[in-house]
Structure 1
């Protein structure tokens, strides 16, 4: 994680602003001028008078080098003339995001006149404003090399600090991209907020704290989870964090979709406020899709945004909900009506957590993983056909590579169409037009999401076949794999008109029609808007008859 380095002329507020920025981020603060005074055992004015400017610059350069070598992310306020040294500029550019605080010479003179600390020796003289103007003009081209500049003349310390943090959030993307490329990860999601890694493996939870520390996310953590997951994995995650020196607080709520409400969000807000959670602290979402959606929404909205990571513990959350930045809660009027796109800083999927899942919850997750093979990866689908027994037994050597491939597919689609504006991400909705309508038609009580999607894929596969896109052989392969993984392929007894009514409010509609995701072959999906009602009616009749 990069440091945040403040440069700028004397009197622009680096020390005061730096302390406030450190408070907002939950980091440490270091002022190189103060460090020079501590090491020299005398004031800066005395160093200049007794030993000269070259000695001061050498002390300053060493203090800066030591500050930037610190392993923990630090807000570093740098003396106004440090930018004169090419070595200092090179060090700062490589070690962190450089933010310059700017002010007009008149503002600087006024602030220095009011300051209690001694005025810099180089500013002494009969015409200080002229001296400030000349020195500032000399250094201005070097200050302009900063990653971000904040004009402080009419801002309070707090307002300036918030602008600095905004600059750091944007500037850190360069370092995030470099860090992701250096480490071995299963996938990388590239978004407008910067890239983030997706780790998939066996027994990864024990390394969570150390991974966060390497990413610079080592301040206080707030673990949000449901009570079922807490009893299975909560203490293990807490131990992994605290052994890495990350203080951890825990918020739990009753398991299930019924808890995904604004009331639960309000309780989480109040809990964070009682603990004085800061913007630079971290929220950890531990659990399935409900936990990830809710904790992500809290992260997106509390303190105007806090960093968070996803630690999915269900198969469905691993291959689907944890990747992509969709967060939200339900209203009585419908699911996920309040939410935001807000990306995590990391996704860590520990396949070992699947060993504690109930069999039905595990089965529904396979639907989304199989879907990825059907729409984009024929080779992955063949793995489901050929290694079904090993996958169902959760054999590590087979399970982990399949999870990695499935999650990489989701990561790639999200990277190319983060907010569903280019028509690529809609491919992930294969099976969902009918699946969502089936959930609604049965009151969200008869089918789990993955089960409904499996039925939906059969309906949409039949539509593909009737339109001449998909062969009967390919449709049969889809049915056989879904049934092999214990998923339903029909919804006998459900009113097809009730399903059709649910489809009428589908969010994938384009004007008056539905944007259908269909198959041309195993591993190749297509979007169509010209599906006749009669074809849809025939497909719905088939899946409701069995």
Structure 2
């Protein structure tokens, strides 16, 4: 992969490697690892000629020692003819073409992100002068003919990374049987049909009738239409985009470019990825940033990320200036079908999950299933737990649909995008129907916590690091189903169907961990569904129907102890 700095090579390369199951080698990263210094420092101390020698050696060594890989190169690697010859002989070249202005915006956004994360960014050589745009324009003019030698060209300007990667796959796919280099690059698995022949999936909109009302939109590729969606809300031009360190590089530069093109003024703040960020400390950091930016009451916060980002930013929106507009853009499957829907926001406490928070509804929820392609398999898989939950508590037909298509759903191929949109939209509709009836969880909304009593206790007891939320909920549903079966409520056939479906979707159904049953039992007493010191369990009666009830302490202790066992040292995949 070749092209100017800021063309998106590294971000697209990571996703392309994931999609094709191939290793990724980034020449700039390898150089820094080899030398122990950042590239700007190498330039400053030794000059460009020394750096180009080092770059050529690393490229040659990588090609010689690597097979069937994705190689991301630096912007200037095409300067030397021997490098161009080496790449032409040993692989398929893809030129990632970008407008220099967009390249500059991406590079500046990367620097800002590093600063927010407490790093000390070093200016790349092309940004160090008084006119970095002129430097990039000169570089492009000088190198364009060399870049154009590539077998394929992909224009990346302001496009979602998933679109870029799918275009690359579509381009190289037809050459598989004709060119051995392409065959070694993309391997043997069949991929989806080229996007040009894919059917257009219209947006699925569910209006939420709470307060002033707002829309939830499920739209494949909808992230690229974010500016049009925000314009319909008549928001002030300044918006505050908050994302995490995993998501930032994939989407923030594209969103910023789209918003600026529509005359919005986006400001970006990046939090560390992970459940640990759902804390008072990180909330205070967001408050400090908003105060420093002089954010005003009518200016919106945009939560771009999974459940952690949505919950945290939602709570910040609910409390900063006593409430500012909130836009939810969930980027995980779990967030799209659950946490971004319904107005629950909050942070964790050391003694329990989601103990501090507020009900606060967004102005818009935009769920783009296309972004799920960029997730690691484990992160995407956990979301199926919440979807299975909907089937068990509310919708036997949805459960049957999941059973019928479990293999395709687990693979998550773009060829099944209509099915994904249908399932995500159905889950949103089910949840919205519940919250419209019981917004504040005083009654029926509690059934949405099926599997969460033991699941939340497990997450808390293991320090929010060992188990992803969906994995913990999956185990919690297994516990709840066992309790219901022993209480004479749930047929063994339905228990088996539930657990088989969880397994088919890649979710855990047996516990192998380090937390004791006693620890789980004690932490369940902090559950939000405790009333009069008694835990109210959501118990399935059949697929598609549940009820809330208390259970004898002896039964709970027996089942939890049997499932989680004594305190032993295990590990889980």
Instruction: Give TM-score, length-normalised by structure 2.
Output: 0.61
1:222 aligns with 2:240: yes
Distance (whole Å) between structure 1 residues aligned to residue 335 and residue 453 of structure 2: 19
Provide the residue aligned with 1:522 in structure 2. 543
**1:49-198 to 2 correspondences below 5 Å:** 185-191=204-210, 193-198=211-216
Residue ranges of structure 2 left out of the alignment (5+ in a row): 1-201, 567-573
Structure 1 residue runs of 4+, over 4 Å off? none
**1:260-339 to 2 correspondences below 5 Å:** 260-339=278-357
- Report the alpha carbon displacement of residue 333 of structure 1 after superposing the two structures with TM: 4.4
Distance (whole Å) between structure 1 residues aligned to residue 451 and residue 465 of structure 2: 19
- Report the alpha carbon displacement of residue 545 of structure 1 after superposing the two structures with TM: 5.8
Distance (whole Å) between structure 1 residues aligned to residue 556 and residue 349 of structure 2: 30
1:407 aligns with 2:457: no
Summarize the Cα distance change of 1:433–1:282 in structure 2 as closer, same or farther, 3 Å threshold.
Answer: same
Provide the residue aligned with 2:402 in structure 1. 384
**1:429-440 to 2 correspondences below 5 Å:** 429-440=449-460
1:348 aligns with 2:369: no
Greater shift after overlay, 447-456 or 212-221? 212-221
- Higher-Rg member (1/2): 1
1:253 aligns with 2:253: no
Provide the residue aligned with 1:425 in structure 2. 445
Provide the residue aligned with 2:508 in structure 1. 488
Distance (whole Å) between structure 2 residues aligned to residue 389 and residue 218 of structure 1: 45
Distance (whole Å) between structure 1 residues aligned to residue 463 and residue 279 of structure 2: 18
Residue ranges of structure 1 left out of the alignment (5+ in a row): 1-182
**1:19-58 to 2 correspondences below 5 Å:** none
The total of aligned residue pairs comes to 361
Distance (whole Å) between structure 1 residues aligned to residue 366 and residue 244 of structure 2: 18
Asked if structure 1 preserves the Cα contact closer than 8 Å seen for 2:334 and 2:383, the reply is yes
SS of alignment partner, residue 279 of structure 1: coil
SS of alignment partner, residue 507 of structure 2: coil
SS of alignment partner, residue 382 of structure 2: helix
Asked if structure 1 preserves the Cα contact closer than 8 Å seen for 2:311 and 2:346, the reply is yes
- Report the alpha carbon displacement of residue 240 of structure 1 after superposing the two structures with TM: 2.5
Instruction: Give TM-score, length-normalised by structure 1.
Output: 0.63
Asked if structure 1 preserves the Cα contact closer than 8 Å seen for 2:203 and 2:218, the reply is no
Distance (whole Å) between structure 2 residues aligned to residue 328 and residue 504 of structure 1: 19
SS of alignment partner, residue 463 of structure 1: helix
SS of alignment partner, residue 186 of structure 1: strand
Provide the residue aligned with 2:387 in structure 1. 369
- Report the alpha carbon displacement of residue 428 of structure 1 after superposing the two structures with TM: 0.4
Of residues 217, 220, 227, the one that matches 1:202 is 220
Provide the residue aligned with 1:244 in structure 2. 262
SS of alignment partner, residue 228 of structure 1: coil
1:443 aligns with 2:460: no
Asked if structure 2 preserves the Cα contact closer than 8 Å seen for 1:185 and 1:197, the reply is no
Distance (whole Å) between structure 1 residues aligned to residue 454 and residue 359 of structure 2: 24
Provide the residue aligned with 2:534 in structure 1. 513
Asked if structure 2 preserves the Cα contact closer than 8 Å seen for 1:520 and 1:526, the reply is yes
- Report the alpha carbon displacement of residue 185 of structure 1 after superposing the two structures with TM: 4.3
Asked if structure 1 preserves the Cα contact closer than 8 Å seen for 2:353 and 2:456, the reply is no
Summarize the Cα distance change of 1:273–1:515 in structure 2 as closer, same or farther, 3 Å threshold.
Answer: same
Distance (whole Å) between structure 1 residues aligned to residue 352 and residue 227 of structure 2: 37
Asked if structure 2 preserves the Cα contact closer than 8 Å seen for 1:219 and 1:280, the reply is no
Q: Deviation string for 1:79-116 (max 9, x for gaps)?
A: xxxxxxxxxxxxxxxxxxxxxxxxxxxxxxxxxxxxxx
